[in-house]
Chains A and B, each alone.
Chain A
Amino acid sequence: MKTAVACFAFVLGCLHAADYVPIAGGTLRTALPMDGETVPVAAYQLRSKPVTNAEFLRFVLANPEWQRGKAATLYATSAYLSQWHSASDFAPHAPNAPVTNVSWFAASAYCASEGASLPSWTQWEFAAAADASRKDARNDPAWRAQILGWYEKPSVERLPDVGLHPANIYGVYDLHQLIWEWVDDFNGLFVTVDSRAQGEQKVFETCGAASLSLGDKENYAVLMRIALLAALNGQDSVGSLGFRCAKPAQ
């Protein structure tokens, strides 16, 4: 943590290890209860903040195959990093703002460069259920309303820096109110794109919807995250979609 703060990220030569915080794991009451209403979550480590423009620039400079214009179109569409001034200049965006317009393939490659991977959906939601003082704040209507508020605010052209909101109880920042985030298994959620189907439709494509009718249905923010992930392909980039990484527990 202190290393990261002391390190001015726009100094490209600055070598700092990203800060990962341990999360002990436990039981998650899930909105996608395919194997029951709760799922066990093993201990893991999660990056305390989303990956920033400065960090991603270092990555593409070290790995030119992931530079804008060089990445294979199968892995990244023309929208990939299109908000950057050039392939090697994130202007006019701030170095400490989260990087967005990054495909799932590029995000996965970045995480591999940190010896990590994208978090699974369950790992992401487990950490995101917490607020500053509670591991699971999801039953608090005021907290839910505050989280939902971000989803209906217009997109902004220039995102603020990471880490401006208070950390949650694990020391993780910005799971809410800054960006959408990729998860490793985004295309394995089996959610039907028709959110109203339920009941008898037990086939894989639609069992997610059946689950939605059983799961955390008054938490609209999580339903919107599922819908967004279900709308994506691995090569897609969205201006409000970034990522962070996760590692196995030490």
Chain B
Amino acid sequence: MSKLQFQPRFNRALLSSLLLAIGSLAAMSAWADAAADLPVETAELTAPPMVPAPIARKTPAKVIVNLTTEEVIREITPGTKYMFWTFGGTVPGKMIRVRQGDTVELHLKNLPTSKVPHNIDLHAVSGPGGGAPQTLIAPGKDATFTFKALNPGLYVYHCATAPVAMHIANGMYGMILVEPEAGMAPVDKEYYVMQGDFYTPGAFGAGGLQPFDMQRSIDENASYILFNGASNSLTGKNALTANVGDKVRLYFGSGGPNVASNFHVIGAIFDKVYHEGGLKYQEQVQTTTVPPGGSTIVEFVPKVPGNLTLVDHALSRAFHKGAIGIMSVSGEEHPEIYSKAATAKAEH
């Protein structure tokens, strides 16, 4: 490196481009032969909090996933904007659902309007870098790589481009669900929620367009800790909905980059928690921890109508940094389970 002077690198660069092109062609055609027999389908990706439909197939397929990287300015809390870096234009990125044994052909396109390069590392991938080396793309470019979804579970994906903590702090994470071969038990409602921490020079709700604050990120001193990338993404008209007696399943992840979640739903007990997004579940759980780059699947049944509140139970985060969401439950009252009026008032 240090010896480089002014020699033009014309021939060397040209030669390596040619060799790369020849090598890629050979590798791609070998793969095409192996996957030729599989039926091909294009994955339906969903913006949070929605979840792609369950997989009806009982056999493997080749699944095409078309994902973009997009840099978008939008509100992080009412009155304050932030430049989010995203997969598919949302925080978290679009949710992907495939089946164990599927061959996934992932196409990543970095929009020409982007300022910086991006790539993707999916934790569902068995292989060095999880796809990151194949997908590093400058603005306006696209890349493709293929992997076999060997392991069932709920997996985080994220951008792995330097400086990686900044790409993740700006919102570049999402999740891919790999359904087990046997499928998943049907439920009434499924939702997709991810927690993430954000770093700005101004305090929560300071107003204007807030930039990323590198030092606060290094110090892990978050200004915002949010569900789905905004303080109001799951409140008001954006609240999740369910009916009394519904089986509810939440696919919950932690994007980080730095802060683990202590996920709790005020007013509900999780019947099942698939800890770390794996196959085994714990029963009767009140609060579950989710590390950055990790996930969990929780299932519960709302018993009475009203608002259930999703929080990080490190409660300063809920009350001061935005980690709060609402699930609005409709249906019949069940006073034998929960009496809404205070006892003294009822006796009077």
Contacts and interface: CB of A to CB of B under 8 A. Distances in A.
B2 interface: yes
Nearest to B111: A155
Interface size class of B (residues with CB under 8 A): 35 or more
Contact of A155 (B115, B164, B215): B115
Contacts of B14: 74, 234
Interface in A56-82: 74, 79
Interface string A226-250: 1110111111111111000011100
A144 interface: yes
Interface string B1-19: 1101110111001101100
B137 A122 contact: no
Nearest to B132: A194
B343 interface: no
A247 B213 CA distance: 37
Given A151-B116, A220-B214, A122 B136 contact: no
Contact of A153 (B17, B115, B214): B115
B160 interface: yes
B214 A218 contact: yes
A239 B140 contact: yes
A195 B116 contact: no
Given A105-B10, A224-B163, A233 B17 contact: yes
A120 B5 contact: yes
Contacts of A74: 14, 17
A235 B17 contact: yes
Interface string B191-232: 000000000000000000001111100100000000000000
Given A151-B116, A155-B139, A231-B137, A120 B16 contact: no
Given A117-B6, A184-B6, A234-B13, A154 B139 contact: no
Given A236-B141, A240-B115, A188 B1 contact: yes
Contacts of B212: 148, 152
Contacts of B137: 231
Contacts of A234: 13-14, 17
A145 B166 CA distance: 13
A149 B200 CA distance: 12
B117 A104 contact: no
B217 to A, nearest CB: 9
Contact of A238 (B16, B136, B138): B138
Contacts of A220: 163, 166, 214
A154 B211 CA distance: 12
Contacts of B112: 239
Given A117-B6, A188-B4, A154 B136 contact: no
A62 B173 CA distance: 48
B179 interface: no
A112 B9 CA distance: 12
B116 A196 contact: no
Given A152-B211, A154-B71, A122 B114 contact: no
Given A231-B138, A236-B138, A195 B160 contact: yes
Contacts of B136: 193, 227, 230-231
A194 B9 contact: no
A153 B210 CA distance: 11
B170 interface: yes
A35 B6 CA distance: 19
Which 3 pairs between the two chains have the least Cβ-Cβ distance?
A195-B162, A193-B136, A231-B117
Given A35-B1, A120-B5, A195-B164, 8 more contacts: A32-B1, A155-B113, A184-B6, A185-B1, A194-B129, A231-B138, A234-B17, A239-B139
11 contacts: A34-B2, A105-B13, A120-B6, A154-B83, A154-B115, A155-B139, A188-B9, A224-B163, A239-B139, A239-B140, A240-B139
